[in-house]
Amino acid sequence: MSDQARIRNFSIIAHIDHGKSTLADRLLEFTGAVAERDMREQLLDTMDIERERGITIKANAVRLDYRAADGNTYILNLIDTPGHVDFSYEVSRSLDACEGALLLVDAAQGVEAQTLANAYLAIENGLEIIPVVNKIDLPSAEPERVSAELLGVVGGSPEDVIQVSAKSGSGIEELLEAIVHRLPPPEGAADAPLRAMVFDSYYDTYRGVICSIRIVDGAIDSGEALRFMATALDDAADEIGVLRPAATPVTRLATGEVGYLISGVKEIDLIRVGDTVTDVDNPASGALAGYQEPKPMVFSGLFPTDGDDFERLREALDKLRLNDSSLVYQPETSRALGFGFRCGFLGLLHMEIVRERLEREYDLDLVATAPSVEYVAHLTDGSTAQIRSPQDLPDTRLLADISEPFVKVMIITPSEYVGTVMELIQQRRGEMGEMTYLTPERVELHYQVPLAEIVFDFFDQLKSRTRGYASMDYEPGEYRRSDLVRVNILLNGVPVDAFSSIVHKERSYRYGRAMVERLRKLIPRQLFDVPVQAAVGSRIIARETIKAQRKDVTAKCYGGDITRKRKLLERQKEGKRRMKMVGQVEVPQEAFISALRIDE
């Protein structure tokens, strides 16, 4: 039997790399959740891709038992969250399952953009925040200064800040005591009808969908008949349990507890993150407030290089979506690339990760088209259309104008770089907003910038121009009308859909020029001259010519070795099978892939 007053639910939130997962390691270790020999760094980051990149992608919940100085044992439900801006949706859902948050700041880096963004999220959710300064073991650590910065964000007095080293383990006990004494226990009504929040879901090939749940009111007993309120799906609690971090079945999850639920459902669509689970026999009158679906920010076409893999790609996307509800996709056909999917991602990192997982875990070889944001086309007849792919843009004659998404960008930078940052923002068509001095040396800047201008290399530019000191965060803003055009690329007069792009008018020439030059170099010579053109509407803005092939013959037949000559030709032909025909032009798959690489 758990005692609701002795439960503490909290998330660890911070800017990327400030040490959330490492701190989770220490908490697991200190409370004896993991035996010493099983300990490894960032233990909760279990996906290969997380371990390789050293970042957390998916939030992880784990239960700890802590015997506090007061002699009582407390149940701590910890959720380690990702720091990258693409995954802030994970953070907000995690916070929803908690009463408290540990807001971590790297003692050498200070407050950064996601520190602020995540702090605001926690404040909005009404969570109790414990400010924590981490990495105090670093020689460059400035715990006092950073602590002051942190208090500037969350308020409070210096003694509220807990100083730890997630590396050495110093300060961990003090932190655990603070968790127990400063964070409130969960509030829900133990005798009310069951209401449990599904705050995450996983898919297991053998067990089907596994829901992460937080019991808000009432309790779940193993075997109980349950109802998912949004989808009106009735099912039984085949297994309930807690992660310690190994899945450990329990007979009951009581009010305020966090755990998992397996109901035997195999179809992920029947289970929605944000849904409320209730008791079939004694249902709650109303569901809990759900989550807002995350909005995909960038779109890209994913095409198998081997057309025969289309069905495999579909299956792989379906499976991936089981663990990543933010991934959206729909079939798309490209003249150049064949059948594939237009996919929506939370950002470029998300896109990169999805692609890498598809290629690695599902053994697919993919081509991705240049990422695009979602535009809104205003037609002359007064209607509007969502444009997720440049191909979808209506003919210029029907088009009144185009709006593009702006985002609210927050940048935190040492004050000496303010000028540099402003310059960059101006180049990216950004508009200056507020500017606040966090301390005399650190400035918080706000801008409105077209999303299309920041999704590609903005972050790298920002980092390199501020010698790595600036950090940024962004959230969706409003749509605004902009002077946008679609640049089409034509090969021998035939438009190559995979290469058309919606760009700002002032950039159209540069884009067109770069693309035709690139393609001229990448596409092998054909039997005839092939013009490569960039066009806006019917106007050609750049042109190159791939000269006709002149020589494709080799020397004599190897002293009568006809077999060898024949095999050589056959092998060469095999290599050409991966060519795609665009009109009369043979284009190697490689050329598409290389031309689509974003390296400008």
Ligand X SMILES: Nc1nc2c(ncn2[C@@H]2O[C@H](COP(=O)(O)OP(=O)(O)OP(=O)(O)O)[C@@H](O)[C@H]2O)c(=O)[nH]1
Instruction: Please name the amino acid found at residue 299.
Output: F
Residue closer to ligand X, measured from CB, 143 or 241:
143
Q: Pick what 92 binds: other proteins, Mg ion, ligand X, none; C-beta below 5 to 8 Å, kind-dependent.
A: none
Is the CB of residue 294 less than 8 Å from the CB of residue 270? no
Positions 75 through 134 that interact with ligand X (CB under 6 A) = 82-83, 134
For ligand X, the closer of residues 50 and 99 by Cβ is 50
Residue in the block written with tokens 């195999």: 266
How far, in Å, CA of 480 to CA of 376, rounded?
9
Closest CA to 421 of 389, 449, 382, 380: 449
Q: Choose among Mg ion, ligand X, other proteins, none what residue 550 binds, the Cβ cut-off being 5 to 8 Å by kind.
A: other proteins
Between 539 and 573, whose beta carbon lies closer to other proteins?
573
Q: Do 135 and 19 meet the contact criterion of CB atoms below 8 Å apart?
A: yes
Q: What is the DSSP string of 74-110?
A: EEEEEEE---SGGGHHHHHHHHHT-SEEEEEEETTT-
Q: Build a one-symbol-per-residue string for 478-517: x at contacts with other proteins by CB under 8 A, - elsewhere.
A: ----------------------------------------
**Subset of 21-40 contacting Mg ion (CB under 5 A):** 21
Pairing mode, if any, of strands 7-14 and 100-106? Answer: parallel
> Is 95:392 a contact under the CB 8 Å cutoff?
no
Among 7, 9, 19, 163, binds ligand X (CB under 6 A): 19
Closest CB 529 distance from other proteins, rounded Å: 10
The site partner of 166 among Mg ion, other proteins, ligand X, none (C-beta below 5 to 8 Å per kind) is: ligand X
Q: Locate tokens 């069905």: which residue?
A: 311
- Shortest reach from residue 501's CB to ligand X, in Å: 31
Task: Tell me whether residue 138 or residue 247 sits nearer to ligand X (CB atom).
Answer: 138
Euclidean distance between CA atoms 320 and 357, whole angstroms: 8
Q: If binding is defined by CB under 6 A, does position 16 make contact with ligand X?
A: yes
| Distances from the Cα of 240 to the Cα of 2, 200, 250, 293, angstroms | 15, 15, 6, 26
Q: Angle at Cα 12 formed by Cα 10 and Cα 15, nearest 5°?
A: 150
CB of 564 to other proteins, least distance (A): 8
Q: Phi/psi of residue 66, each to 5°? A: -125, 125
Lookup result for tokens 């053998």: 206
Nearer Cβ to other proteins (392/586): 586
Helices within 293-448 (DSSP H only): 310-323, 348-361, 418-427
How far is Cα 236 from Cα 224, in angstroms, rounded to an integer? 6
Total residues contacting other proteins by CB under 8 A comes to: 26
Question: Of the listed pieces 54-62, 173-181, 441-449, 475-483, which binds Mg ion according to CB under 5 A?
Answer: 54-62
Does position 525 interact with other proteins (CB under 8 A)? The reply is: yes
Name residues contacting other proteins, limited to 247-266 (CB under 8 A): none
Ranges of H-type helices in 499-554: 505-522
527 near other proteins (CB under 8 A): yes
What does the CA dihedral 164, 15, 93, 192 come to, rounded to 10 degrees?
30
Site for other proteins in 552-571 (CB under 8 A): 552-563, 566, 569-570
Nearby residues of 65 by Cβ (< 8 Å), 6 or more positions away: 31, 32, 33, 73, 74, 75, 76
Q: Compute the distance between CA of residue 448 and CA of residue 226 in angstroms, rounded to an integer.
A: 46
Is residue 219 classed as helix, strand or coil in its secondary structure? Answer: coil
Which range touches ligand X (CB under 6 A), out of 165-173, 216-224, 482-490, 504-512? 165-173
Interaction partner, residue 14 (other proteins, ligand X, Mg ion, none; CB < 5-8 Å by kind):
ligand X
Choosing among ligand X, other proteins, Mg ion, none, which partner's interface includes residue 54 (Cβ < 5 to 8 Å by kind)?
ligand X
Residue 135 or 355 with smaller CB distance to ligand X: 135
Distance CA(163)–CA(377), nearest Å, equals 52
Mark the segment that binds other proteins (CB under 8 A) among 40-48, 286-294, 420-428, 550-558.
550-558
How crowded is residue 459: how many other Cβ atoms within 10 Å of its Cβ? 18
Which of 13, 28, 33, 55 binds ligand X (CB under 6 A)? It is 55
Give the nearest distance from C-beta 14 to ligand X in angstroms.
5
Please give the residue whose beta carbon sits closest to ligand X in the complex: 83
The verdict on 539 binding other proteins (CB under 8 A) reads: no
Chain contacts with ligand X (rule: CB under 6 A): 14, 16-22, 42, 54-56, 82-83, 134-135, 137-138, 165-167
Interface with Mg ion by CB under 5 A: which residues? 20-21, 56
Q: Which residues contact other proteins by CB under 8 A?
A: 525, 527-528, 547, 549-563, 566, 569-570, 572-573, 576, 584
